DNA sequence: TATTGTTATACTCTATAACTATA
DNA sequence: TATAGTTATAGAGTATAACAATA
């Protein structure tokens, strides 16, 4: 098998796996009324020390700012986050976790874990670590190192 | 970091990587007028000995049959595949590569390779092999082994 | 009654472009 | 002019449900 072929196969494998991951997540998150993308945003919000701006969220999620608006809209409608205007700069809006959002996080974490666990079941602990390292290596933007 | 957390992180890493892969593929395939999903279907068609049924394609792509209809519609409109009724069973339709489709395959392969190459650049050959093996392990449906 | 493919419909995710309000 | 966020719009990808034709 030539290089192009095997490289393409890796891409196929990744896409197929992610499709399954998406499906599993959706299934597990559905009872909570939250989509995978919203869950991801909620996690980012919860992991930040201070409330993040919309732009920050877009950067961390690696999406365009417009996409964040929709996700925050959804989470806000469920009362899980709250938009807070920044007094220092009236252009910016910061996104805070609500008490309800904090409550939801644990259930979300369980759901996420169950979903990922379904897919990652075939891998042992050391293999997961290996996979994590490989993915981390890929996370580094190659265009930045030039 | 607990197990749930690290499992969730793997999921995040996968999703983030695939988002980038999707974007890169889209970019490289755009000049050819073909979407990543269409490209995938075209590859499956090209790798099969005999023309596959719509249902077979759905299975191999791991999507619902309805999704295949749209993809084949698109490829057919570009003249890359052709729907052929099966004489033996008038319910089934088989999808064949056209001469034009065969021509497009090489360009597609190059585009796909360039896209994947962008993302996989940080990995050496042995790391790619490692990643391929891990993904292959995950491809095996765990629900079948029970 | 089960299978094959389709029409109809809808939702998630993401993108670009143009606009508003600040700075 | 540049930045932060939004409205408006679009398109890719996928799903479910109802249906027609065939087996």
- DSSP letters along B68-137, please? HHHHHHHHHHTTSEEEEE-TT-TT-EEEEE-HHHHHHHHHHHHHHHHHHHHHHTTS-HHHHHHHHHHHHH
Over the range A104-124, which residues count as b (16 or more CB within 10 Å of their CB) and which as e? bbeebbebbbbbbbbbbeebe
Q: Tell me, what's the pLDDT at B41?
A: 95
Strand D atom within 7 Å of B130 CB: no
Q: How far apart, in whole angstroms, are the C-alpha atoms of residue A57 and residue A64?
A: 9
B145 or A122, greater pLDDT: A122
Give, in words, the CATH class of A3-139. Answer: mainly alpha
Q: How far apart, in whole angstroms, are the C-alpha atoms of residue A44 and residue A36?
A: 13
Contact (CB<8Å) B117/A22:
no
Token pair 């809006």 is at which residue? Answer: A93
Contact (CB<8Å) B112/A3:
no
Domain boundaries, chain A: 3-139
Q: Tell me, what's the pLDDT at B111?
A: 79
pLDDT in tens, A6-43: 665 777 777 777 778 778 878 888 888 899 899 999 99
Tens of pLDDT along chain B (146 residues)? 555 556 667 777 877 777 888 888 888 888 888 998 999 999 999 999 999 999 999 999 999 999 999 999 999 999 999 999 999 999 999 999 999 999 998 888 887 777 777 788 889 999 999 999 998 888 765 443 32
The reply to whether CATH 1.10.10.10 applies to domain B16-121 is yes
pLDDT in tens, A41-87: 999 999 999 999 999 999 999 999 999 999 999 999 999 999 999 99
A58 is written with which tokens? 């877009």
Instruction: Name the minimum distance, in Å, from the CA of A87 to any CA of chain B.
Output: 33
Q: Tell me, what's the pLDDT at A146?
A: 25
Q: Sheet holding B81-85: strands in order across?
A: B52-53, B93-97, B81-85
Token pair 């084949």 is at which residue? Answer: B72
Span CA (B1) to C1' (D6), Å: 38
């Amino acid at each position: 098998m030539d290089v192009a072929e095997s490289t393409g196969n890796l891409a196929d494998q990744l896409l197929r796996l992610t499709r399954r991951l998406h499906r599993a997540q959706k299934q597990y998150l559905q009872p909570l009324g939250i989509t995978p993308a919203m869950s991801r945003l909620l996690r980012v919000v919860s992991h930040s020390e201070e409330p993040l701006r919309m732009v920050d969220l877009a950067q961390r999620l690696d999406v365009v700012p417009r996409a964040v608006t929709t996700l925050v809209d959804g989470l806000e409608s469920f009362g899980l986050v709250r938009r807070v205007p920044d007094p220092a700069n009236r252009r910016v809006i910061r996104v805070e976790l609500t008490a309800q959002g904090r409550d939801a996080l644990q259930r979300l974490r369980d759901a996420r874990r169950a979903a990922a666990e379904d897919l990652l079941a075939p891998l042992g602990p050391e293999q997961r670590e290996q996979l994590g390292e490989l993915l981390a290596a890929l996370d580094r933007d190659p265009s930045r190192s030039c």
